[in-house]
Structure 1
Amino acid sequence: MSKQSSGKIWPYIVGGSITLVFGFCVATIMVTSKANIQESNAYMSKYQDADAKANEFINAQIAFDKKYNFTYVTEGIGGEIPLLKYKVTDKNNSSVNDAKIILHISRPETAEFNQELNEATCEDGVYTFSGAKFPKVGVWNIIARVQVGDDYRFLNIKADTRIKEAFEF
């Protein structure tokens, strides 16, 4: 003798499943809303603005690179008072001493240590920034915006206080 189900249990199983899925959705939203998420500061702006102006930034970089060379020449950022150095020359390797450079320094995982430097000394096209502080050992993002006349570009560097190497990204 087999006992047949009357079919009354299936609505309860379907209702319970829907309630469980909805509960998981709410829990996911609650947990992620409390997460410490840092906004990107690529191109010294929010990522939405950088995304909207991406073609403008790329065209500005191409126009700048046709006229000038902009390089990161810092030997290392370790130590008590590091000096950040950038060199600006034209395509004939003549020093450019009238450029305006702004630096944003940040950690990849937090906005707590963000800094902005905009005053540099210039000697033979080498712009030297002092006053940067790197209170934690490890990787730092250094984003520079250089402008000569109407031409500008960004140079994004990942530098590490433990080693002397820096990587452009």
Structure 2
Amino acid sequence: MDKAKSEHTYYPHVVIGMIIGCVISCGFTIKIAMDNPVEMDTFYMEKYQQVDHSINTILELQEKFNAKFDLAYSTEKFVIGQNSITIRLSDKSGQPVNDANVMMMLSRPDSNKENKEMKPSHVENGNYTFGPFEITKPGRWQILSKIDVGEFKGYHKNEAYAAQ
């Protein structure tokens, strides 16, 4: 007696399953990318095309700025509600610099939706005070500053944390 041997080939089913799985994976990847767009980096407070075009000049100016000036931030913590920040700018000899054009931006690292651009509300003895301003969300914030002093231009980033 001969047993009928039934041979099934699953190879075509596996190939079709893999193709369908790849299509579904691509669909999920596209959906996730559309739901979570990439935010533009705001470190230089300019459009990325402008930064890309002149990055070498920006880095040279930054190096000259760092060699001539010192910068210090007054805070590393925020509270939910009203806050202010003071940036102290001095030259390397310790003399305060009062004639700088300082711009500051508060930003969340994960989104540009809550960016707050500010100019100093008070300047005295090298201390540039920004505020009052409102912090509404707890967590990590970035303090980005752009400073122009004559031919020198500097960009700085400091992190602060907001808590209740």
TM over 0.5: yes
Q: Tell me how far 1:136 sits from its aligned partner.
A: 1.8
Give the deviation of 1:16 after TM superposition: 3.4
TM-score after normalising by structure 2: 0.79
Cross-structure match for 2:7: 5
Of 98-107 and 109-118, deviating more is 109-118
RMSD: 2.8
Describe the superposition over 1:56-92 as per-residue Cα deviations: whole angstroms up to 9, x where unpaired.
3332221012222222134753374322111111222
Aligned match of 1:90: 91
Match of 1:99 in 2: 100
- Write out the 4+ residue segments of structure 1 that deviate beyond 4 Å after TM superposition: 46-54
Q: When the two structures are superposed, what TM-score results if normalisation uses the length of structure 1?
A: 0.77
Task: Verify the 8 A CA contact 2:106 2:143 in the aligned structure 1.
Answer: yes
Q: Structure 1 unaligned runs (5+)? A: 164-169
Identity level (%): 27
**Structure 2 residue identity aligned to 1:134:** I
Determine the structure 1 residue equivalent to 2:25.
24
Give unpaired runs (5+ residues) of structure 2.
none
Matched, 1:42 2:29: no
**Which of 1 and 2 has higher RCO (CA within 8 Å, sep 6+)?**
2
- Of Structure 1 and Structure 2, the greater strand share is in 2
Tell me whether 1:154 sits opposite 2:155 in the alignment.
yes
- Deviations along 1:92-151, whole A, 9 cap, x unmatched? 211211001101101223333211001332111111112322112332111011110021
- Matched residues, number: 162
Offset, 1:156: 0.4
